[in-house]
Amino acid sequence: MRILERPKYQFYFFLLIFFVVNVLQSKYTGLLYDEAYYWEWSKQMAFGYFDHPPMVAVWIKISGLLFDGELGVRFFSIISFTLMLYIIWLLIDIEQKWNYVWLYFLLIISVAFLNVYGFITTPDTPLLFFITVFLYFYKRFLEDNSIKNTLLLGLSMAGMLYSKYHGVLIIFFVLLSNWTLLKNKKFWIAGFFGAILFIPHLYWQYLNDFPTFRYHLFERGSDREYEITNSLMHLVNQIAIVGITFPLIYYAFIKQKSSSIFDKSLKYITYGLIGFFLFSSFKLRPQAQWTAAILIPLVILTFRQFVENETQRKWIIRIGMIQLGLLLIARLLFAVDNILPIKLEPHIAKTWVKTLQENTSNKPIVFVASYRNAAIYNFYTKIRTHSYSVLQWRQSQYDLGDFEDKMQGEDVYVVGYEKWMKHSPMLAVQYKKALNGHTIKAYNTFQNVKCIMEDESLSFKENENITFKFALHNTYDKNISFENVKFVGVFYNKKQIIIKIPLEVNDLTQLRPNENKIFEATFDSPNFDIKEDLSFRMAIRFYGLPEGFQGNQVDIKLID
């Protein structure tokens, strides 16, 4: 083993250990629900998807070409994580670093959340990889802004944006740390080149009416009032993503001075992301992965501090080894079921998928308001699924793909949680949650039809009969008729549904493919307990299921 006395061989040996452990972890750990959802994306490759840009689907597509099962979703994530560790090492500028190879890998373990992306595949997995690549080429660009480094910098920008929109924050905070970049023509060329590469995604958004932008900017969390617990949770998340070493890591990061423009950018990225998502917590419920990118600057800058300060190094060794033990236990718990009395997410599918498959006689399943259940069930059974979107939940990629089309004319089961399917028999239990459902013969829906009211508002008195016009647009390449359909009027107060009423649509006729036709609808105006901030939209119910997203929302003005 004398060969391991050489620092470079030590480095590759530790890198190999991480690689092997992550392969085993990926193979023996059940798929997370979100991973299954992204796996569904990879079966219909596109330049965009409802929730995020497409890079995560590329990661899974490549993995699927090499392996089946869980490894067929995660293998390329293991490759990219391994490359990321190598690139982060290259970004560390300190002469004696080869004497502390072991400390580098202990430091990787000491920022706990980073290790998760060594074996799971979510949009943050390629994002972290491309952030690291971007920082590498930014550093090279500062040293030599050759056309090669310029174009590679632009390419890495596009890679970040194709992974997750958070990438624009990384670019912004780097720019904020070095305003002189605005005077550098080569930096503008890099940005312009990255923007050109990103055009296919923007065009996809345009063709699909900008679903991702609308969801993240206007729909997600738009009805929430500020809760101080969200801001506190954001701060707790900054502790959680590091782990029990957080006092040492953050102290070392603060103590380490910026010795270069590049170091300054790392500081700006870290403080900027924490501050930006603290501000976001005023409207959104924070998630730990939102600031996972700060772990890369933390590793780069604190490594230098731990090498130079013996006291701090001794403490990171002690606490880091404890964290290593905790991570190994956590990995074991993720991979092996029945160790704990509670079920972790990778094990929950085992509690219901097989039972539901048996009780539905292997028929296709339409899941009500659960794209996650639809995806994980399809992954483990290979039985066709669709997620039926309802107003009281949210839309998903199932509203954009051809999932609904593949169900038409089939005998299917409709399955959902008790809140959606309370009058249907229970078919399975998803770890203490009942999944109810029933069969539908010759299933026929057209969820993506549009009911557009041209007027920006409706004015009426309470307790009077109201008539209004709307355009019914058949968005399908087939005739649609209206059996098993009911039109519903939905009233809101500040995005909260307060009243639902039946609508009568006059002279309703079959619509030809892509036909747009004007109809009249009538309803009896209800009494409103709340009379301010009211709005209204049309919606459609199929087979008595909850109403969907067919109508646009208009303001209501009550007349005294």
CB 283 within 8 Å of CB 226: yes
State the pLDDT confidence band at 527, using cuts at 50, 70 and 90. Answer: confident
Domain match, 25 and 174 both: yes
Cα-based distances in Å from 217 to 292, 398, 450: 21, 20, 22
Residue 553 has pLDDT above 80, yes or no: yes
Give the count of domains, the chain.
Answer: 3
Query: In percent, how much of the chain has pLDDT > 90?
Result: 82
Residue 239 has pLDDT above 90, yes or no: yes
Residue 378 in domain: yes
Domain match, 307 and 372 both: no
pTM strictly above 0.75: yes
State the pLDDT confidence band at 507, using cuts at 50, 70 and 90. Answer: confident
Choosing from 288, 304, 335, the residue where a domain stops is 335
Residue 284, pLDDT score = 84
Domain match, 315 and 371 both: no
Radius of gyration of the chain, Cα coordinates, nearest whole angstrom: 27
Pairwise CA distance, residues 469 & 458, whole Å: 11
Beta strands 385-388 and 365-368 are parallel
Domain match, 152 and 96 both: yes
Domain match, 44 and 107 both: yes
Domain match, 471 and 535 both: yes
- Domain interval for residue 311: 2-335
Residue 151 in domain: yes
Residue 217 in domain: yes
| Host H or E run for residue 547 | none
Residue 45, pLDDT score = 96
Pairwise CA distance, residues 283 & 537, whole Å: 24
Q: If you write DSSP's letter for every residue of 123-190 in order, what string do you get? A: THHHHHHHHHHHHHHHHHHHH---HHHHHHHHHHHHHHHHH-TTHHHHHHHHHHH-GGGGG-HHHHHH
pLDDT in tens, 50-97: 999 999 999 999 999 999 999 999 999 999 999 999 999 999 998 899
Choosing from 440, 474, 504, the residue where a domain stops is 440
Residue 1 has pLDDT above 60, yes or no: no
Residue 33 in domain: yes
Query: In percent, how much of the chain has pLDDT > 70?
Result: 98
CB 111 within 8 Å of CB 245: yes
Burial of 441: CB neighbours in 10 Å, binned 0-12, 13-18, 19+: exposed
Residue 445, pLDDT score = 94
Domain match, 223 and 366 both: no
Pairwise CA distance, residues 49 & 473, whole Å: 23
Residue 340 in domain: no
Mean pLDDT of 363-371: 97
Residue 224, pLDDT score = 62
Residue 476 in domain: yes
Residue 2, pLDDT score = 64
Residue 39, pLDDT score = 98
At residue 490, the 3 state secondary structure works out as strand
Q: Which of 34-43, 183-192, 277-286 has the lowest mean pLDDT?
A: 277-286
Nearest residue to 505 (alpha-carbon basis) of 486, 482, 489, 521: 521
Domain match, 535 and 506 both: yes
CATH (domain of 549):
2.60.40
Q: Which of 36-40, 281-285, 442-446, 516-520 has the lowest mean pLDDT?
A: 281-285
Choosing from 398, 419, 440, the residue where a domain stops is 440
Pairwise CA distance, residues 226 & 224, whole Å: 7
Residue 529, pLDDT score = 83
Domain match, 260 and 377 both: no
Residue 518 in domain: yes
Domain match, 198 and 145 both: yes
Pairwise CA distance, residues 192 & 165, whole Å: 17
Residues paired with 519 in a beta bridge: 470
State the pLDDT confidence band at 460, using cuts at 50, 70 and 90. Answer: confident
pLDDT in tens, 95-138: 899 999 999 999 999 999 999 999 999 999 999 999 999 999 99
Nearest residue to 4 (alpha-carbon basis) of 522, 12, 265, 201: 12
State the pLDDT confidence band at 223, using cuts at 50, 70 and 90. Answer: low
Mean pLDDT of 214-238: 82
Residue 222, pLDDT score = 54
Domain match, 142 and 27 both: yes
Residue 217, pLDDT score = 82
State the pLDDT confidence band at 509, using cuts at 50, 70 and 90. Answer: confident
Residue 483, pLDDT score = 85
State the pLDDT confidence band at 550, using cuts at 50, 70 and 90. Answer: very high
> Could you say which DSSP state residue 345 is in?
H
Residue 63, pLDDT score = 98
Mean pLDDT of the chain: 93
State the pLDDT confidence band at 392, using cuts at 50, 70 and 90. Answer: confident
Mean pLDDT of 357-366: 97
Residue 219 has pLDDT above 90, yes or no: no
Mean pLDDT of 181-195: 97
Domain match, 261 and 322 both: yes
Residue 30 has pLDDT above 70, yes or no: yes
Q: Where are the alpha helices (DSSP H) in 92-123?
A: 101-110, 112-116
Beta strands 554-558 and 433-440 are unpaired
Q: What is the dihedral of CA 66, 72, 78, 81, to 10 degrees?
A: 100
Residue 346 in domain: no
Residue labelled with tokens 């048996």: 358
pLDDT in tens, 139-167: 999 999 999 999 999 999 999 999 999 99
State the pLDDT confidence band at 456, using cuts at 50, 70 and 90. Answer: confident
